[in-house]
């Protein structure tokens, strides 16, 4: 009987992990389906608010579920242990915690959308790709790299990498408590990863390859045993991208240039799927037709 009781939590953890990874994989497939052919490079039109919100939530599930697996598993484990010891009558689903986590990232995504669309709507000529666009995108990447080395980043990353400590120090009972814990953990995660998300906007928010790359960097810094090494690897990668995008964007692998035929096709695809009146203003660092003498 004891061996059976010991195997049940293990089966639960394996099942929860498998579900989390399976949903993450499904989210990647849906993200690819929704965004295929829409990568116009830095300054990509994010689409209408409805399209963006749905795409953002699915994208966050794809990018973040592997990285938050240790936290979700720890939450589920503590829940079941408390029930087995009689502290609570029933277990709250770990997906309530995940819902709170996604809620925080959705709020961040809406704020990012407002800022991004607001800047694009100003139609500042100096920010076009043929003028300061590469330096603007490179500056965002460099700022993200610098943030990697700040005490604030270190504090947020430390909490993201210590699941048991977070669960024990932020525990709240019931479904509302689980939701609240997910929201709080999401806030720490936003504090940890907002720079990397800003880097994604700078590289092309509709680019699935860049999503995969950023998700890989997030997983690296959260899961690699040596935190300092992981953090510096991420910062070094961002610095390299910053200089590459600023000085030699055509040589950056996977970067769609806003003045390329591929980017023009992507913008045509985006504008074609939005209803009249729902199209976004012209891309701030979108391609501009150059005038040729003669």
Look at residue 106 in the predicted model and tell me its pLDDT. 97
Q: Which residues of 202-229 are buried (b: 16+ CB within 10 A; e: fewer)?
A: bbbbbbbebbebbbebbbbbbeeeeeee
Taking the mean position of all CA atoms in its chain, how far away is CA 73? 20
Closest CA to 197 of 112, 70, 102: 112
Domain boundaries defined on the chain = 38-84+91-268
What average pLDDT does range 91-104 have in this prediction? 94
**Of 36 and 60, more confident:** 60
Tell me the mean pLDDT in the region 244-262.
88
User: Percentage of the chain with pLDDT > 70?
Assistant: 87
Q: Are 66 and 215 in contact (CB under 8 A)?
A: yes
Q: What is the mean pLDDT of the chain?
A: 86
Helix 227-247, helix 174-203: angle, nearest 10: 40
Residue 12 has pLDDT above 50, yes or no: yes
Higher pLDDT, 130 or 105: 105
Note the pLDDT of residue 130.
82
pLDDT tens track for 154-196: 999 999 999 999 999 999 989 999 999 999 999 999 999 999 9
Q: Quick one: pLDDT at residue 71?
A: 96
pLDDT digits (tens, 9 = 90+) for 68-89: 999 999 999 998 888 777 767 7
Contact 42, 267 (CB under 8 A): no
Ordered alpha helix ranges (H), the chain: 2-35, 49-84, 94-121, 133-148, 151-160, 163-169, 174-203, 208-223, 227-247, 261-273
C-alpha to C-alpha distance for 160 and 212, rounded to whole angstroms: 20
Q: What is the pLDDT of residue 8?
A: 61
Interatomic CA distance for residues 228 and 48, integer angstroms: 39
């Amino acid at each position: 009987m004891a061996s059976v009781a010991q195997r049940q939590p293990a089966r639960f953890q394996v099942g929860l992990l498998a579900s989390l990874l399976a949903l993450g994989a499904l989210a990647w497939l849906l993200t690819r389906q929704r965004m295929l052919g829409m990568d116009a490079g830095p300054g990509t039109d994010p689409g209408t608010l409805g399209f963006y919100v749905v795409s953002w939530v699915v994208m966050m599930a794809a990018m973040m579920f592997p990285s938050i697996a240790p936290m979700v598993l720890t939450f589920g484990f503590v829940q079941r242990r408390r029930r087995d010891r009689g502290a609570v009558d029933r277990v709250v689903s770990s997906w309530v915690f995940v819902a709170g986590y996604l809620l925080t990232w959705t709020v961040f995504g809406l704020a990012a959308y407002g800022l991004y669309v607001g800047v694009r709507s100003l139609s500042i000529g100096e920010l076009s790709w043929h003028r300061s666009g590469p330096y603007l995108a490179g500056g965002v990447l460099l700022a993200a790299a610098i943030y990697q080395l700040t005490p604030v980043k270190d504090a947020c990353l430390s909490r993201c990498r210590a699941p048991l400590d977070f669960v024990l120090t932020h525990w709240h009972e019931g479904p509302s408590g689980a939701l609240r814990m997910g929201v709080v953990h999401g806030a720490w995660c936003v504090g940890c990863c907002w720079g990397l998300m800003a880097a994604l906007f700078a590289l092309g928010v509709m680019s699935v390859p860049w999503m995969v790359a950023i998700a890989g960097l997030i997983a690296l810094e959260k899961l690699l045993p040596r935190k300092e090494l992981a953090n510096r690897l991420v910062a070094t990668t961002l610095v390299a991208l910053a200089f590459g995008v600023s000085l030699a964007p055509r040589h950056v692998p996977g970067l769609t240039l806003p003045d390329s035929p591929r980017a023009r096709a992507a913008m045509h695809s985006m504008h074609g799927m939005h209803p009249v009146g729902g199209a976004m203003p012209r891309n701030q660092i979108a391609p501009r037709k150059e005038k040729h003498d003669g």
